[in-house]
Amino acid sequence: MKLDRKEILKALETITIAGEGKNMVESGAVQNVITFGDEVVVDLLLSTPAMHIKKRAEDDIKKLIHEKFSPDAVVKVNIKVEAKENPNEIKGKAIPGISNIIAVASGKGGVGKSTVTANLAVTLAKMGFKVGVLDADIYGPSMPIMFDVENEKPISIEVDGKSKMKPIESYEIKLLSIGFFTSPSQAVIWRGPMASKALNQMIFDAAWGELDFMLIDLPPGTGDIHLSIMQSLPITGAVVVSTPQAVALADAKKGVSMFMSDAINVPVLGIIENMAYFTPEELPNNKYYIFGKEGAKNLAEDLNVRFLGEVPLVQSIREAGDYGRPAALQTASSLEKVFEDIARNVVEETVRRNEDLAPTEAIKITTMAGCSAVKGK
């Protein structure tokens, strides 16, 4: 079947870009349509860098051409992004030496966000990347225990004539946490501004050096600490962790929504499903879906973000975290493979995000009253 350029353009008028209010032809998003035999090339210009909008536009175009013209058509969609200035954002500067900053978040506590962060960090390090972890869970820091460094204290070193904190190193990971500055039994009872100031010091007064990835273990929910981090750092992308349980998924959806909001506009790299199923050690081929089946996977499809992988509920993951040796360090094990697959997907999404979108910049929220800012240095 010969594909007609004018008919395709007319059909594209039925597709609306999310947030635009006009169809993609009327809004000027469609820059060009080229047909050659059974091949169609559509050039799009989008004004938003949000990855889910870009992917939805591409999927809508392919679906339209396959359904209305030819199911065998070879469709290529070239998307270029020229982001408009957002009045709710004030741009900041990137941190020298740190290539990618990944925020690991969860809508609800207890879903294994810190465990996933620790195992993702050591897996990236095993893959050859230089990795740092910032434990931003001020009120419940877990990283010192998970990396077996709870009794360590950062020392002060001089860098370019300035005094800096030297991050603790464990398993080739550079690590800073509020847990290094408090006793294990001491509760952190701080208001937002004080917590933000502590984070400010760990971010800017530390000698992180050259890092391919900095993973930030955020507190559960969507609160002041999250805003402070995103106001001070140019977040490359966010990873959301959830269990398959409906209650956890409801809050995970809010977490994704926070990153995708106009005021924050941080690309969501994907969703990880933790405690996906239970496998007894004596029955390694059996799977019991205690918290429900594929809930996070279905949520990722609904939100049009990538499903990065699933982590089973096994006793050795908990034991490894308690003993301070992340489970992903268990060579030639099924868990090592699980976290390698997830890490590979995170790297792929990060590379795709950096190719398709402009670098994320630190933001300042101007539409929400009462949010404490962290001043970049």
**Per-residue model confidence as pLDDT tens digits over 51-78:** 677 788 888 889 888 888 888 888 898 8
Give residue 245's identity as a one-letter amino acid code: Q
Contact 156, 164 (CB under 8 A): yes
Instruction: Please check the confidence at residue 118 and state whether its pLDDT lies above 90.
Output: yes
pLDDT at 324: 85
Contact 258, 250 (CB under 8 A): no
For residues 375 and 377, what is the distance between their CA atoms, to the nearest angstrom?
Answer: 6
Contact 113, 217 (CB under 8 A): yes
For residues 87 and 85, what is the distance between their CA atoms, to the nearest angstrom?
Answer: 6
What residues contact 268, with CB distance under 8 A and at least 6 apart?
51, 52, 237, 238, 239, 240, 256, 259, 260, 303, 305
Average pLDDT across the chain, whole number: 81
* Nearest in space to 65 (alpha carbons), one of 3, 135, 125, 131: 3
Angle between helices 113-126 and 315-323 (to 10 degrees): 80
For residues 175 and 209, what is the distance between their CA atoms, to the nearest angstrom?
Answer: 12
Q: Which backbone phi and psi does 143 adopt, to 5 degrees? A: -60, -40
Proportion of the chain above pLDDT 90, given as a percent = 16
For residues 5 and 23, what is the distance between their CA atoms, to the nearest angstrom?
Answer: 17
Tokens of 45: 């210009």
Cβ neighbour number for residue 343 with a 10 Å cutoff? 24
More confident residue, 20 or 111: 111
Instruction: Please check the confidence at residue 188 and state whether its pLDDT lies above 80.
Output: no
pLDDT at 213: 92
- For residue 197, name the pLDDT band (cuts at 50, 70, 90): confident
Tokens of 117: 């962060």
* Nearest in space to 223 (alpha carbons), one of 204, 199, 244, 242: 199
For residues 222 and 164, what is the distance between their CA atoms, to the nearest angstrom?
Answer: 30
pLDDT at 112: 85
Mean pLDDT confidence for 263-280: 86
Mean pLDDT confidence for 203-208: 83
pLDDT at 87: 47
Where do runs of H (alpha helix) occur along the chain?
5-12, 51-68, 113-126, 143-146, 192-204, 224-232, 246-260, 295-303, 315-323, 334-356
pLDDT per position as a tens digit, 294-343 = 888 898 888 888 899 999 888 888 888 888 888 888 888 888 999 999 99
Give residue 293's identity as a one-letter amino acid code: K
pLDDT at 342: 93
Instruction: Please check the confidence at residue 119 and state whether its pLDDT lies above 90.
Output: yes
Pairing of strands 74-81, 39-46: parallel
For residues 305 and 230, what is the distance between their CA atoms, to the nearest angstrom?
Answer: 20
pTM for the structure as a whole: 0.70
Domains and CATH numbers, the chain: 5-81 (3.30.300.130), 98-356 (3.40.50.300)
